[in-house]
Homo-oligomer: A and B are copies of this chain.
Amino acid sequence: MTAALHPLDEATALTPIGERRALGRTNPLYRNMAGPFGGVTAAVLLRAVMDDPGRIGDPIALTVNFCAAVADGEFEVAWTETRAGKTVQHWNVELRQEGRIVTTGSVVCAVRRETWTHRPGVAPAVPPPEEVPPADTAGRLPWLERFDFRYVEGPPRFEEPAPETPRSPRSVIWLQDQPARPLDFVALAAIADAFIVRIIQVRGRPGPMGTVTLTTYFHAGQAALEEIGAAPVLGVADSKIFHDNFQDQDISLWTPDGRLLATGVQMAWFRE
């Protein structure tokens, strides 16, 4: 008897088909409006590098360019080490369907040693996750059910009419894989994109939009992630501008005891 894979591991599974080439398949559990949730595509690109026997150290940066919608079905991932030193290693990754590039990305890995540490960034003061009720995401997009969202601030208000003045773009959320799963870099890469696109938050109405590019930086090593286990992480998302088809988003992810795990930015397109 084998244990069932966690949906994230199922959705990011890659079958090698050659030197740094592998096949994957979109998973209906992470379906978004058009194609899969972007965070799971980001996780696939990172996983290709994480599972490479030539990788050194931990990932410190991941950039993903969503060049076109990923179609339901099979995709090919190819990755190359572009340059490596003794402690820092650079990778490019591509995802293709029908021979065409659908997603590109780059990953930076590094062997991190203990250094002077200073943490001027401070997590917001929030109630613990067990005191915050989970959002009801059932019956909406499948990917929303892959996370436990506990909104401390800035919940989506799907049921309410659009507000007359824009709402705050800021959300503060306890986030956890659902079902719970021990935290690793692949999961962090997905969670870093698990914030509802800010324009929906602000305008309170759906419309055509999608992330075009995102970058995530990792600020903790593998051992620190293992210490967290399957606990929820605290996420903060905000935006500075919505203008001429594009909006920014910046996020941060924190451990339950307030240590910074990851920061990220993205640009998302919206129609009007």
Contacts and interface: CB of A to CB of B under 8 A. Distances in A.
Contacts of A140: none
A201 to B, nearest CB: 11
A6 to B, nearest CB: 28
Contact of A263 (B61, B120, B244, B265): B265
A114 B217 CA distance: 32
A108 interface: yes
B115 A245 contact: yes
A83 B110 contact: no
Interface string A46-66: 000000000000001101010
B112 A244 contact: yes
A199 to B, nearest CB: 9
Q: How many copies does the complex hold?
A: 2
B110 A246 contact: yes
A68 B85 contact: yes
Interface stretch (A19-27, A128-136, A178-186, A234-242): A234-242
A215 to B, nearest CB: 4
A150 interface: no
Secondary structure class of chain A's binding surface, majority of residues: strand
B118 A166 contact: yes
A250 B250 contact: yes
A114 B245 CA distance: 7
B245 A112 contact: yes
A270 B121 CA distance: 18
Contact of A267 (B61, B113, B213): B61
A116 B272 contact: yes
A202 B246 CA distance: 34
A141 to B, nearest CB: 22
6 contacts: A61-B212, A67-B83, A104-B106, A112-B246, A118-B243, A119-B242
Interface of A: 60-61, 63, 65, 67-68, 82-83, 85, 87-88, 90, 92, 94, 100-102, 104, 106, 108, 110, 112-121, 166, 168-169, 202-203, 212-213, 215, 217, 219-221, 238-246, 248, 250, 252, 260, 263, 265, 267, 269-272
Q: Which 6 A-B pairs have the closest CB atoms?
A: A121-B240, A67-B83, A112-B244, A118-B242, A215-B215, A67-B90
